Structure 1
Amino acid sequence: MTGAVDIKGSAPPKLLAAFRANFAEGAELGARFCAFRDGELVADLAAGWSDREKTIPFAEDTLVCVYSSGKAAMATLVAKAVSDGRLDYERAIATDWPEFAAEGKAAITLAMALSHQAGLCGFADEIPPDEWIRWDNICARIAAMAPLWPPGSAAGYHPQTVGYIVGEVFRRRTGRT
């Protein structure tokens, strides 16, 4: 693939042009964009490479680490579920996820997790890269771990765990992921 990038999928013309421009300007190595409006797929694009050596094409099923970019969407979905009465910020997580109560975590609430006060900011042992996509395994690790401080007594950024904690509560309460 030399010159223009091979874009797979479809999107409205302006969005497709912007997606293509990111590659033309050198801002992208590989990317995927998908959007729905009112439950209907309106854009689905993939292009470029999934490795720096440009040997593996970026495909529709290429996994990408997005770090904290999903936290705003997570907070919005949780706020909507709270507004609809499906979630409660002050409800103990262990009420819906009994295994989570282990190691002194029975009183941790959704609010504590969202505000990084649960004391569960990371893992004591290294997690192999291919393990991060195994949702149930990571949730089991979190359920089994002890807080680093008494929950609610301090705050510390939970970059590795908050998405799994909140996501598991959301899944158990709403049936959605």
Structure 2
Amino acid sequence: MADLEGVYDPRFAELAERLSENLDTGEELGASVAVVVGGESVVDLWGGWADRRHMVPWRRDTITNVWSCTKTVTSLAALVLVDRGLLDVDASVARYWPEFAAGGKKGVLVRHLLSHTSGVSGWDRPVTVADVCDVPASTARLAAQAPWWPSGTASGCHLLNYGHLVGELIRRIDGRTLGRFVAEEIAGPFGADFHIGLPDSEFDRVADVVPPPFRSSDLAGADPNGVAVRTFTGPVGGAEESWRPQWRRAEIGAANGHGNARSLARIHSVIACGGTLDGMRLLSPRTVDQIFRQQTDGPDLVLGAHLRFGIGFGLPSPAVPYLPSGRICFWTGWGGSVVVIDTERQAAISYVMNRMGTGLLGSDRTDQYVTAAFASLEKART
């Protein structure tokens, strides 16, 4: 069994065993898992390697690109403004961002952006990854284009532009960019090592992701002009893009957050605990309740899976069998990283790795860790 570093409550031994086994067999290259309950860390484990050559160990302060787990932090930032009475989820986006009304988007509401139902799940082609990294210019492009389906009628995961859209709302209201807002209002106050827009000084700590196996059949037979293809190919770019300095530096609030399981579990435990953590109030219970206002329940136009979205987070659905029922919200990152928040158990669970797996809503490893964590949480309640 591979050696692990960190600490864990003995009740979570099965979770530790699963991580150790996967590191031992090579299923994992390097990874971290964390569980926070009632604001207290009960699992903080890491192990393996930060590089493919097995030269640099995954350390306590190793961070990596967590892909779409970034979206949950972006959502939390928006909810902070909701809590302060500065952002109304039922108001039109154009109330705060007048240019967004162009192209027939006057009726798009803030909650449509936060629930992936705005009709703007990507950029009109042609668009490149370099364009996406130029956040002001690519955000202006989103404001100008027409929606790809009627807003509010269905979800279509906003793969790369979620943070451009929500981040622009934050900038229009607060004046700070998304990355700065997160640093000053969320990550900094709670001591979480999480970054949207990574300073060059932190590059040496990054474990580059190992891309998942290529599958040319993923979009085979799909309508070339349909929402899924337009979203996945606008722009075309592989996981290797995350190795580039321009990607790391940009504030891409849908996909380029850098952190580890500890920082994600720490941040999201404020939701698990009803909005207050370590005596610091970030959200009211009423604002936390907004997360669980179901907005959709059906096939996602981009991912194809049957999903339920609340405001800012996914909710348990048949597409995510490793989540139990209850007052739970979550989201995953490409390759398997995950954040799960259980407000009934006051628990936040996270897993972050560098060897990316396959699967749209978590990998087999994601399933193993989350299932083991919930089994231990259930034992702790009895």
CA distance, structure 2, for counterparts of residue 167 and residue 11 of structure 1: 35
CA distance, structure 2, for counterparts of residue 119 and residue 89 of structure 1: 17
Matching residue of 1:115:
116
Q: 1:118 to 1:151 in 2, by over 3 A?
A: same
Gaps of 5+ in 2: 175-180, 188-382
Name which of structure 1's ranges 43-52 and 117-126 shifts more when overlaid on structure 2.
117-126
CA-CA distance at 1:47 after TM superposition: 1.3
Name which of structure 1's ranges 19-28 and 155-164 shifts more when overlaid on structure 2.
155-164
Q: Does the 8 A contact of 1:112 with 1:151 survive in 2?
A: no
Larger RCO, structure (CA 8 Å, separation 6 or more):
2
Q: Does the 8 A contact of 1:49 with 1:56 survive in 2?
A: yes
Matching residue of 2:191:
none
CA distance, structure 2, for counterparts of residue 30 and residue 63 of structure 1: 10
Matching residue of 1:104:
102
CA distance, structure 2, for counterparts of residue 26 and residue 161 of structure 1: 33
CA distance, structure 1, for counterparts of residue 170 and residue 21 of structure 2: 37
Which of these residues, 108, 127, 130, is aligned with residue 129 of structure 2? 127
Helix, strand or coil: the match of 1:111? helix
Q: Percent identity?
A: 22
Q: Does the 8 A contact of 1:47 with 1:58 survive in 2?
A: yes
Q: 1:142 to 1:42 in 2, by over 3 A?
A: farther
CA distance, structure 2, for counterparts of residue 115 and residue 52 of structure 1: 35
Q: 1:43 to 1:170 in 2, by over 3 A?
A: farther
Q: 1:12 to 1:84 in 2, by over 3 A?
A: same
Helix, strand or coil: the match of 2:50? coil
CA-CA distance at 1:159 after TM superposition: 0.7
Letter of the aligned partner of 2:120 in structure 1?
A: G
Matches within 5 A, 1:58-69: 58-59=58-59, 60-67=61-68
CA-to-aligned-CA distance 1:83-109 (integer Å, 9 cap, x gap): 97966432233545x4x7357287332
Q: Does the 8 A contact of 2:102 with 2:145 survive in 1?
A: no
Q: Does the 8 A contact of 1:47 with 1:57 survive in 2?
A: yes
Q: Does the 8 A contact of 1:119 with 1:151 survive in 2?
A: yes
Matching residue of 1:144:
140
Matches within 5 A, 1:11-160: 11-13=8-10, 14=13, 15-59=15-59, 60-67=61-68, 88-96=88-96, 98=97, 101=99, 104=102, 107=106, 108-113=108-113, 114-122=115-123, 124-128=126-130, 138=135, 140-146=136-142, 147-150=144-147, 153=150, 156-160=156-160
Letter of the aligned partner of 2:129 in structure 1?
A: I
CA-CA distance at 1:41 after TM superposition: 2.3
Aligned residue pairs: how many?
A: 162
CA distance, structure 1, for counterparts of residue 149 and residue 66 of structure 2: 29
Helix, strand or coil: the match of 1:43? strand
CA distance, structure 2, for counterparts of residue 42 and residue 163 of structure 1: 31
CA distance, structure 1, for counterparts of residue 101 and residue 55 of structure 2: 46
Relative to the length of structure 1, the TM-score reads: 0.61
Q: 1:6 to 1:169 in 2, by over 3 A?
A: farther
Gaps of 5+ in 1: none
Q: Does the 8 A contact of 2:50 with 2:62 survive in 1?
A: no
Q: 1:110 to 1:39 in 2, by over 3 A?
A: same
Q: Does the 8 A contact of 1:103 with 1:145 survive in 2?
A: no
Q: CA-atom RMSD, angstroms? A: 4.2
CA distance, structure 2, for counterparts of residue 169 and residue 176 of structure 1: 17
Relative to the length of structure 2, the TM-score reads: 0.33
CA-to-aligned-CA distance 1:93-126 (integer Å, 9 cap, x gap): 3545x4x735728733223222343425147543
Q: Does the 8 A contact of 1:102 with 1:143 survive in 2?
A: no
